[in-house]
């Protein structure tokens, strides 16, 4: 059974579609053949919004990856795949939801793994977040621009200007497979050597294996900003003192060294919401 709903309720700042409605919602059985249904429905929405061809191509890619992740990993047998999309003045937001097993830290041996798909989604999306709990399903929220940056209108006063990617993921064992692939994608985009890529992954793992109870609500938020040949991660919020405890756990007493040395810069900032660990990883000059 396929259920499609055009939503009359618009998100704040949403752009009305030609028929006066705010977005589209689909619920389909989580089968591979239904991914094409979702992709074509959202391509039709993109056409109505007059999105740029390059943006439409990115949209199709991230929707396919997110939906196939549900098809392959969410259910043992079958369950619903829910997709919603709505437009703001400059972006199209897409939410992909399932009610299955949640993200597995290790792919099941009898299933084909698309674990790289999350990194690809993060690379092609303007913003990307994921929330998941074992047995309660997974929700992926993505945003893609409606137009190329030089063709976008000036933002209205009060609209947040995003200069970073944000990943929100459960702390603990599920964090490593998500964060390492996202970091790997950014390292590749920065044209890191194999050795420098390994350094970035080691630092990612050191963050991922931080105790889950160091994060309020066991949720880690990671902001990533890029510059020429480098990127910066900001991880938090951590409980009071958590930033320094994380740095201490990077030490390798047997070698008299620390993984902290693999980063070009590392610091801890304390805010009302908690501690944040910031580190910059750069391509050697």
* Residues 64 and 189 grouped into a single domain: no
Residues 242, 274 contacting (CB under 8 angstroms): yes
Q: Following DSSP, what letter does each residue of 107-130 receive, concatenated? A: --TTS---THHHHHHHHHSSEEEE
* Residues 145 and 207 grouped into a single domain: no
* Residues 82 and 193 grouped into a single domain: no
* Residues 76 and 130 grouped into a single domain: yes
Task: Give the CA angle between residues 8, 12, 14 to the nearest 5°.
Answer: 60
Weakest-pLDDT range from 92-106, 227-241, 270-284: 92-106
Q: Select from 116, 150, 184 the last residue of a domain.
A: 150
Mean pLDDT of 182-202: 85
Q: What is the CATH number of the domain that holds 190?
A: 3.30.565.10
Whether the predicted pLDDT of 99 surpasses 80: yes
pLDDT in tens, 21-58: 357 888 888 888 888 888 888 888 888 788 888 888 88
Report the length, in residues, of the chain. 285
Give the number of other CB atoms < 10 A from CB of residue 137.
Answer: 21
What is the distance between the alpha carbons of residues 143 and 59, in angstroms, rounded to a whole number? 9
pLDDT in tens, 264-278: 999 998 888 889 989
pLDDT in tens, 66-81: 888 888 888 887 888 8
- Say if 156 falls within a structural domain: no
* Residues 141 and 248 grouped into a single domain: no
User: Residue 276's domain spans which residues?
Assistant: 163-285
* Residues 172 and 64 grouped into a single domain: no
| pTM higher than the cut 0.75 | no
Closest by Cα among 131, 15, 32, 130 to 81: 32
- Say if 186 falls within a structural domain: yes
3-state secondary structure of 185: helix
pLDDT value of residue 157 = 54
Does 10 or 252 have the greater pLDDT score?
Answer: 252
pLDDT value of residue 13 = 38
């Amino acid at each position: 059974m396929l259920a499609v709903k055009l939503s009359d309720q618009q998100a704040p700042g949403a752009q009305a579609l030609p028929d006066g409605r705010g977005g589209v919602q689909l619920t389909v059985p989580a089968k591979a053949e239904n991914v094409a249904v979702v992709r074509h429905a959202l391509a039709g929405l993109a056409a109505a919004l007059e999105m740029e061809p390059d943006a439409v191509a990115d949209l199709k890619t991230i929707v396919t990856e997110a939906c196939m992740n549900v098809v392959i990993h969410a259910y043992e047998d079958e369950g619903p795949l829910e997709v919603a999309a709505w437009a703001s003045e400059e972006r199209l937001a897409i939410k992909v939801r399932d009610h299955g097993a949640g993200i597995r830290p290790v792919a099941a041996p009898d299933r084909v793994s698309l674990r790289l798909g999350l990194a690809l989604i993060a690379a092609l999306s303007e913003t990307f977040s994921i929330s998941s709990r074992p047995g309660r399903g997974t929700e992926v929220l993505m945003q893609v621009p409606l137009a190329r940056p030089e063709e976008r209108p000036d933002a209205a006063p009060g609209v947040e200007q995003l200069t970073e990617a944000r990943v929100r993921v459960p702390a603990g064992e599920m964090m490593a497979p998500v964060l390492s692939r996202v970091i790997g994608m950014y390292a590749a985009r920065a044209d890191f050597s194999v050795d420098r890529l390994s350094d970035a992954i080691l630092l990612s793992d050191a963050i991922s294996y931080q105790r889950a109870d160091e994060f309020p609500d066991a949720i880690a938020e990671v902001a990533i900003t890029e510059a020429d040949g480098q990127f910066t991660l900001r991880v938090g919020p951590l409980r009071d003192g958590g930033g320094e405890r994380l740095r201490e756990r990077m030490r390798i007493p047997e070698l008299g060294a620390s993984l902290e040395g693999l980063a070009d810069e590392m610091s801890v900032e304390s805010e009302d919401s908690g501690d944040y660990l910031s580190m910059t990883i750069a391509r050697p000059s």
